[in-house]
């Protein structure tokens, strides 16, 4: 793939109907390449004043890795219910490959390249709050709270490795944009690597 095409794809994805998806931007690559994959597209669409998440998965094959290409402008309240349904559909397929994975696509705006974030083992709970664990919560203003205390993200990155061993639960405001969600997921991934004593649950709550 030439550099110009790679640069274009990093900022938008074209479907067979020439609809555009503007991908989230982040400065870190978690996964560089995914082989043997099928695309899922979730487009940003408006109907009068309503925003709609339009799903296209007609080219997916259950035995492959699935790459979710989602418009960064969409809020979590519209895309998470669709993601849950697609996860269930793939998991219930009689032809499912147990080794296949699910990934979100995004753009590394530093390297000007596509990147991918795995979420195969993430279990979403929509409009539900956790009943236990220490809550890491991102609100719709993209602010971070731990146990209801506002924390600067820069300070959390510096000090997370010194925190005590505990089970953390990730929570997001349902009105968060998909772009901020991906950026915060990458932040959490960095924190997990800095403190192997503390665990962050694969369960995520959107409310």
Query: pLDDT for 109-138, tens place per residue?
Result: 898 889 999 999 999 999 999 998 889 999
Pick from 181, 31, 197: which is nearest to 102 by CA? Answer: 31
pLDDT of residue 1: 41
Distance of CA 10 to the CA centre of its chain: 16
Where a domain ends, among 64, 91, 121? 121
What is the token pair recorded at 92? 């219930």
Residues 116, 134 within the same domain: no
Mean pLDDT computed over 183-194: 88
Residue 15 has pLDDT above 50, yes or no: no
DSSP code, position 177:
B
98 and 150 both lie in a single domain: no
Check whether residue 109 and residue 170 sit in a common domain: no
- Give the containing element (helix H, strand E) for 167: strand 167-172
In this structure, the answer to whether residues 152 and 76 fall within a common structural domain is: no
CB count, 10 Å around CB of 49? 5
Q: Are residues 108 and 151 in the same domain?
A: no
Mean pLDDT of all residues in 16-45: 91
Pair (201, 154) in one structural domain: yes
Q: What is the mean pLDDT of residues 143-150?
A: 92
Between 11 and 86, name the one with better pLDDT. Answer: 86
Residue 133 and residue 192 in one domain: yes
> In angstroms, how far apart are the furthest CA atoms of the chain?
51
> Does 66 share its domain with 156?
no
**CA-based end-to-end distance of the chain:** 40
Q: How far is CA 84 from the centre of its chain?
A: 12
pLDDT of residue 4: 39
| Percentage, residues of the chain above pLDDT 90 | 67
What mean pLDDT is predicted for residues 26-51? Answer: 95
**Number of structural domains found in the chain:** 2
| Same domain, residue pair 33 and 48 | yes
Residue 181 has a pLDDT of 98
The model's pTM is 0.89
- One domain for residues 70 and 103: yes
Domain stop point among 64, 99, 121: 121
Q: What is the pLDDT of residue 161?
A: 66
CB under 8 A, 24+ apart: contacts of 48-55: 51/75, 51/78, 52/78, 53/78, 53/79, 53/82, 55/82, 55/86
**Taken in order 70, 71, 76, 79, is the CA torsion positive or negative?**
negative
Residue 180 structural domain = 126-206
- DSSP state string for 96-154: --TT--EEEEEEETTTTEEEEEE-TT-EEEET---SSSEEEEE-TTS-EEETTEEE-HH
């Amino acid at each position: 793939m030439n550099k110009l095409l790679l640069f274009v794809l990093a900022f938008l994805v074209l479907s067979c109907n020439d609809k555009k998806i503007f991908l989230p931007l982040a400065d870190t690559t978690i996964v560089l390449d995914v082989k043997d994959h099928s695309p899922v597209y979730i487009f940003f669409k408006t109907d009068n004043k309503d925003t709609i998440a339009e799903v296209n998965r007609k080219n997916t094959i259950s035995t492959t890795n699935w790459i979710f290409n989602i418009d960064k402008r969409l809020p979590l309240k519209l895309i998470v219910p669709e993601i849950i349904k697609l996860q269930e559909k793939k998991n219930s397929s009689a032809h499912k490959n147990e080794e296949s994975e699910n990934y979100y696509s995004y753009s590394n705006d530093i390297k000007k390249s596509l990147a991918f974030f795995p979420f195969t083992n993430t279990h979403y709970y929509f409009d539900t709050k956790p009943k236990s664990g220490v809550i890491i919560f991102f609100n719709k203003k993209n602010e971070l709270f731990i146990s209801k205390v506002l924390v600067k993200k820069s300070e959390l990155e510096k000090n997370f490795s010194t925190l005590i061993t505990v089970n953390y639960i990730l929570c997001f405001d349902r009105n968060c944009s998909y772009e901020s969600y991906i950026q915060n997921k990458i932040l959490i991934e960095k924190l997990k690597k800095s403190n192997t004593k503390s665990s962050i649950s694969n369960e995520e709550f959107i409310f």
